[in-house]
Structure 1
Amino acid sequence: MTGGTRATRATHEALPPAMREAVDDFADHLARVRNRSAHTVRAYAADVVSLLDHAVRMGCSAPAELDLTVLRSWLARQRTVGAARTSLARRAAAARTFSAWAHRAGVLPADVAAPLSSPRAHRDLPTVLRADQAAALVEAPDRRPPATRPAEATGHKVTDPAGPDADGRRDDSPPGASRQDGPAGPARPEEEPVRLRDRVLLELLYGTGVRVSEACGLDVADVDHGRRVIRVLGKGGRERSVPYGVPAQRAIDDWLRSGRPALAVPGSGEALLLGARGGRLNPTTARRIVAGYAESLGLPRVSPHGLRHSAATHLLEGGADLRAVQELLGHSSLGSTQIYTHVSVERLRAAYRQAHPRA
């Protein structure tokens, strides 16, 4: 088992050999056959390690001894120690996926988790920016510095406290190089490429609604300037084309003309967005960039996913078809997109309460 926390790796190593092998084969199946992201593989593998560790404590010595009683006991234990409903739902899904795979692979005599139920995950309505707030955030690199200057912009050597991003990648900068990632201002001439990069990042996140990992995974060749679309590789390896507008086109042109060449190094490859030391921009840094500019404007705390929520909500409020928004966002299920209709209804209700004399 690769990745995961130190505690999870230690628990994995303490499992009986047959169980360790089952976890490793399951993780390999998710990555190679199901084409799941590294983040999903790590999360599901960690859940299965926790399940099998609980099974061992209940007297099981091999995966074939799993049954519905063990699974339910494991979920009950998770609830007892305070796991949230969303965590319980995900762990139950991991158990069902593992059980179905293990049965097909001959590891389990039956798909014991098929009847396993899980609590319905509570879905909070996502926080979204108003259209004017989103516009101000996207244009922030051109107009003002953030509230604080992060260490990356001071010229001091720093390390990424968050480590590798969700896909296990890092900015492939040479060791010991100083970093200038993140918004800082007023921009000195040497910081201009970073400002141009930040503007492209923000334009793409809000202007297309792509996930932060999808934006950071873009290559130069994924941009179709003639049709103004980007080719995005989403969850499960699903590819889709997403349109972008004239402001994003201008930002991309400026970046490719004056920003990217200044940051590119021999190891940059074809990555569209680069870190300050020339490696592919990673999602951890992108999140810091978005948060820094939002703070500088006094906006509600927002993440790249918040910009995705905002884009979807504004599309629906502007009259876009729900299925068109589903395609743009890359949702496999329409149910994932319908949450944004709830956001719009809430805004409509708030406006009604404020303005209608009979409210």
Structure 2
Amino acid sequence: MSVPAFEKYLALEKKYASHTVRAYVRDLEAFAAYCRDHQDTENLEDLPYAVIRNWVIDLMENGRTNRTINRKVASLKAYYKYLVRSGKVAANPLAGHKPLRTDKKVEVPFSEAEMRALLTQWPEEDKFEGARDRLVVELLYATGIRRAELIGLLLQDLDLENGTLKVLGKRSKERIIPLLENLRQQIARYLDLRKAEFPLEDSPFLFLTASGGKMYPTLVYRIINKYLGIVSAKAKKSPHILRHTFATHMLNKGADMNSVKELLGHASLASTQVYTHNSIAELKRIHGSAHPRNKD
């Protein structure tokens, strides 16, 4: 099993994010462990599909959800695609595999009222950490960027004079996002506090920890969970929900789907369409209240 080569392929050729690469490798290693225990082999190159099917059944019997199993199988499928491409196997044993059926995942965005309540009554922002935390929330909500994209932002990505932000998305695809005027002011204020807090720090990254290091995923999640918890009782309070909220509010206000797609950095409209169910609900409300036939 050529894990290092597969890992390099995912990172350099497929340009997957580091956490995605780690997840794929973990899934592959888990499958290899299953094969050692149940097939007495570590050679994955000549395994028939029946072995993979038995692994799926074993995962189901151990209480794994269909969504989790589908993710693990997707990792394995990517590995066999790599083996086919490198000439180590003739065919992908998972080529005809159908994913397990899963319930449609519905994520509830934050309402405009919840976001307004938080951002107009921010509890603390006169010091570095308070200003940083507010900018994290504001930037995720105002631009819809991903958590990994936020963490990777560099000082040189900012163009406050022209009001734009350069974002490096999935597979190293760049996009330019416009900045709202109030967001430009928030960034300028944060940069002043950042410079005062770390006058000798020469880190290229926009967001820093309290000790001056690069921001990390768990910290971003804690920030979102902490502050959104002040105004919302929703169970899920995560950076991705703010991305979802951005898209939903944009669509509700009349933004066309292609524009939202470009802002989100999606490769196709199909990815953007997952955010439309809340917009459709809003359209139904407006239609129901405005159409004269609804009053008969």
Q: CA deviation at 1:218?
A: 0.7
CA distance in 1, matches of 2:8, 2:144: 30
What does residue 28 of structure 2 align with? 48
What does residue 196 of structure 2 align with? 262
> In the alignment, which of 197, 215, 221 is matched to residue 287 of structure 1?
221
Q: Counterparts in 2 of 1:168-207, with a 5 A limit? A: 192-207=127-142
Residue 16 of structure 2 aligns with an amino acid whose one-letter code is R
Deviations 1:90-141 (A, max 9, x none): 1221121111111222332322221122124433221111112112223443
Contact kept in structure 2, 1:218 and 1:271, CA below 8 Å: yes
Question: What are the ranges of 5 or more consecutive residues in structure 2 without an aligned counterpart?
Answer: none
Residue 227 of structure 2 aligns with an amino acid whose one-letter code is Y
Residues 1:76 and 2:10 are matched in the alignment? no
CA distance in 2, matches of 1:297, 1:32: 42
Q: CA deviation at 1:80?
A: 1.8
Change (3 A) 1:106 1:265: farther
Q: Counterparts in 2 of 1:48-67, with a 5 A limit? A: 48-56=28-36, 57-67=38-48
Q: Counterparts in 2 of 1:52-201, with a 5 A limit? A: 52-56=32-36, 57-141=38-122, 144=123, 192-201=127-136
CA distance in 2, matches of 1:218, 1:87: 30
Residues 1:326 and 2:261 are matched in the alignment? yes
Aligned to 1:46, the other structure's residue is in SS state helix
| TM-score, structure 1 normalization | 0.75
Contact kept in structure 1, 2:114 and 2:232, CA below 8 Å: no
What does residue 27 of structure 1 align with? 7
Change (3 A) 1:122 1:229: farther
Aligned to 1:199, the other structure's residue is in SS state helix
CA distance in 2, matches of 1:103, 1:327: 33
Contact kept in structure 2, 1:134 and 1:307, CA below 8 Å: no
CA distance in 1, matches of 2:219, 2:202: 16
Residues 1:243 and 2:178 are matched in the alignment? yes
Number of residue pairs matched by the alignment: 292
What does residue 168 of structure 2 align with? 233
CA distance in 1, matches of 2:45, 2:232: 56
Identity of paired residues, percent? 32
Aligned to 1:231, the other structure's residue is in SS state strand
CA distance in 2, matches of 1:347, 1:280: 39
> In the alignment, which of 210, 230, 251 is matched to residue 296 of structure 1?
230
Deviations 1:153-210 (A, max 9, x none): xxxxxxxxxxxxxxxxxxxxxxxxxxxxxxxx5x7xxx61222212211110100011
Aligned to 1:64, the other structure's residue is in SS state coil
CA distance in 2, matches of 1:40, 1:265: 35
Q: CA deviation at 1:51?
A: 1.9
Contact kept in structure 1, 2:32 and 2:42, CA below 8 Å: no
Contact kept in structure 2, 1:200 and 1:251, CA below 8 Å: yes
CA distance in 2, matches of 1:286, 1:34: 26
CA distance in 2, matches of 1:331, 1:94: 21
What does residue 174 of structure 1 align with? none
Structure 1: 4+ residue segments shifted above 6 A: 350-359
CA distance in 2, matches of 1:29, 1:85: 27
Q: CA deviation at 1:354?
A: 9.3
Contact kept in structure 2, 1:222 and 1:231, CA below 8 Å: yes
> In the alignment, which of 273, 278, 293 is matched to residue 343 of structure 1?
278
Change (3 A) 1:113 1:291: same
Aligned to 1:241, the other structure's residue is in SS state strand
Q: CA deviation at 1:358?
A: 7.7
Contact kept in structure 2, 1:128 and 1:307, CA below 8 Å: yes
Residues 1:37 and 2:52 are matched in the alignment? no
| TM-score, structure 2 normalization | 0.89
CA distance in 2, matches of 1:115, 1:60: 24
Aligned to 1:242, the other structure's residue is in SS state strand
Q: Which moved more, 1:322-331 or 1:294-303?
A: 294-303
CA distance in 1, matches of 2:286, 2:199: 52
CA distance in 1, matches of 2:54, 2:12: 31
Residues 1:252 and 2:232 are matched in the alignment? no
